Structure 1
Amino acid sequence: MKWFQTATLSLAVLVTAGCASNSNNNAEWLYPPMAVPLQASVQQEVQIARLGQLLQRPDLKNEVRAKMFYERGSYYDSVGLRDLARLDYKQSLAINPLQPDLYNLLGVHFTQVGDFDAAYDAFGSTLELDPSNSYAERNRAIALYYGDRLPLAMEDMQKHYAQDPEDPFRALWLYLIESEVDPIKARERLVASYQQRNEQWGWVLVAISLGEVSEANAFKAILQGTRDNTLLAQRLTEAYFYLGKRYQREGDFASAISLYKLAISFNVYEYVEHRYAFLELTRIYNQVQEEQLARAKSQQQQAAK
């Protein structure tokens, strides 16, 4: 999701779908549910061109120029032009360094490309300027998780979760991080949270992650509760990402890779699930490569005996 707005979807739809098709709980999709990939709108393209022209003016005040760089960078980000977005963000900060939200955006960018030290610094800058920024707190915990600093990640995420235990995304990311430390305790905690769930859409993702609902029923609930293509693309991006995380934890890398690719395919560039799917694919590749090298080394040692 975009860091971080929560949409709602009645879980009654999910329950209804489950009750209506108990006999088909083990059914698999012949083709995965899809949405039309999002494309840059005319408005986005016009705004990028317009801001580019305005930034050429020599009489702009620094405050206005900084805001324009920030705005154009946001438009670049929304259409997947990440390097151009990062360049504009940095130019905006060079003019006005007192922008906590912008440091947070840069931190997410750095996390996506695996530059974790830069990500920690960026999130730290956000929290220094705005200690109450919960987005940066969560993003830093996730960056620490991807940077293999699990104790620090747990500390940040536990604090973040305690501020709003009813937020399904807080519960879900605490589970993903804690699973690396104590899988049994992590699952017990998430199940307890799920049992106290409200009607927020994110609890459907928790159900998918726990295997509390079949994939077929989960996707039926998504399709039945979503009529707008943009919203469908957003929800499928999230669903495929977290389902990919589940398969990855189970060691089914082939399924995880397919699901991450599906999460990427809808072009929901502003969602971290889209961004971090690339990072997850890299992690799987590195893990498989390390396992193959270790296996080859072991075989060589045995052959030498």
Structure 2
Amino acid sequence: MSGKVRAVMMALIAGSGLMLAGCAATTGKNVQGELLVAPAPNDYKLEITLAKLSEIIDSAKLTNEQRARFLYERGVIYDRLGLRLMARIQFHEALKIMPNLADAYNFMGIYLTQEGDYEAAFEAFDSVLELMPDYDYAYLNRGIAQYYAGINQLAVKDLESFYFADKQDGYRVLWLYIAQHQVNAEQAKAQLLLNRAQLSDDEWSTAIVDYVAGKYTDAELLALAKKELKHPREYLERLCEAYFYMAKVAEYQQLNDNAVQYLRLALATNIYDFVEYRYARVELARLVKPVSQGAAQGPEQEPEQEQE
């Protein structure tokens, strides 16, 4: 492999956790009077990386493994840009070349869950765990798929596995609570309070857990979202998360109109690669379906935030 290809490949593999740098955002008022930040445009650095990746895939001499990994990395960038169909094509092509690429199966399972194809999603996540039994995020994603499929006991089991892998992660506490709530709401609340004791008071995710536990109002949680921000995009990320969990609480309180509004606000952030964004559309479809007397209203029938 040439020095150029090696350098780019190492940067891209390390860049799997690359964060988008947000631009200066404008503000407006939503109907409840809270400040809402307009979604920032995509980071041009991601587009540059995408162009470089495409050049290498098209012109460089690569081994099969290298080509598969470059295709996977290009899929990750497409996913972060909201181009889910393009991302899916990359993951599919990568798996044709390298069938043991666990990360690609994980993404495919997520997309299949969003589409409601749960059996195929389970197969994808099972493949991840066969290849990498310690891949804890496969337990999260399979648990979420089981939750939306209505297999609540299995969802709790997988989300417990995900939680026990890191008890100091507030998001793990939240997803376990969501699954447990479907089984027994009172016991779920009691377990949430016990799990809260393991969390740091300084984390944003802990503030969300406290909100779900009833410590904060909606307005207080949104106010906390503005504090101690480390980069411009972080406020949008926090809003995406806050609105999603606010919607779940509103749903539990049978305030479905509020839940629908919060889910639409979560989608308006365009934080495409966050789990809360991914499933806000699924949650929205579940809430609006009864209004249409059973008419099919899947994720694609809401105003699209993604470019597919």
TM range (shorter): 0.7 to 0.9
In the alignment, which residue of structure 1 is the partner of 2:40?
38
Residues 196/155 of structure 1: CA separation in 2 closer, same or farther (3 Å cut) = closer
2:257 corresponds to which letter in structure 1? Answer: A
* Alignment partner, residue 111 of structure 2: 109
Residue in 2 aligned with 1:209?
A: 212
Structure 2 distance, partners of 1:183, 1:201, is 24
After superposition, give the CA deviation of every residue in 1:130-173 in whole Å (9 maximum; x if it has no partner). 10111111111111001111121112122332333332112111
Q: Check the 8 A contact 1:29/1:216 in 2, yes or no.
A: no
Aligned to 1:229: 232
Matched, 1:176 2:178: yes
Distance 2:178 2:79 in 1: 26
Q: How many pairs were matched up?
A: 267
Secondary structure at the counterpart of residue 58 of structure 2: coil
Matching residue of 2:276: 273
Q: 1:302 maps to what in 2?
A: none
Alignment partners' CA distance in 1, 2:183 and 2:60: 55
1:164 aligns with 2:166: yes
Counterpart contact for 2:167–2:198, Cα < 8 Å = no
* AA aligned opposite 2:42: A
Q: Secondary structure at the match of 1:56?
A: helix
Which amino acid counterpart does residue 102 of structure 2 have in structure 1? P
Identify the residue that residue 248 of structure 2 maps to in structure 1: 245
Number of the residue aligned with 1:138 = 140
Most deviating of 210-219 and 249-258: 210-219
Could you tell me which runs of 5 or more consecutive residues in structure 2 were left unpaired when the two chains were aligned: 1-15, 18-29, 296-308
SS at match of 2:250: helix
Three-state SS of the structure 2 residue aligned to 1:223 is coil
CA distance in 1, matches of 2:222, 2:60: 53
CA contact (8 A) 2:69 2:94 kept: yes
Q: CA deviation at 1:223?
A: 1.1
Structure showing greater radius of gyration is: 1
Q: TM-score by structure 1 length? A: 0.81
For residue 126 of structure 2, give the secondary structure of its aligned residue in structure 1. helix
Farther off after superposition, 237-246 or 247-256:
247-256
Q: Does 1:127 align with 2:129?
A: yes
| CA–CA separation in structure 2 for the residues paired with 1:69 and 1:34 | 36
SS in 2 for 1:240: helix
1:178-211 CA distances to partner (integer Å, 9 max, x unpaired)? 1111001001111222244313321111122222
Structure 1 residue ranges without an equivalent (≥5): 6-27, 293-305
Change (3 A) 1:289 1:68: same
2:268, 2:165 → 1: CA distance?
34
Q: Is contact 1:36–1:229 with CA below 8 Å preserved after alignment?
A: no
CA RMSD of aligned residues (A): 2.2
Q: Which moved more, 1:232-241 or 1:222-231?
A: 222-231
Q: Which of 51, 54, 60 matches 1:52?
A: 54
Query: Which secondary structure state, in structure 2, belongs to the residue aligned with residue 34 of structure 1?
Result: strand
CA spacing shift, 1:176–1:167, aligned 2, 3 Å: same
Equivalents in 1 of 2:271, 2:264: separation in Å? Answer: 12
Does 1:263 pair with 2:266? Answer: yes
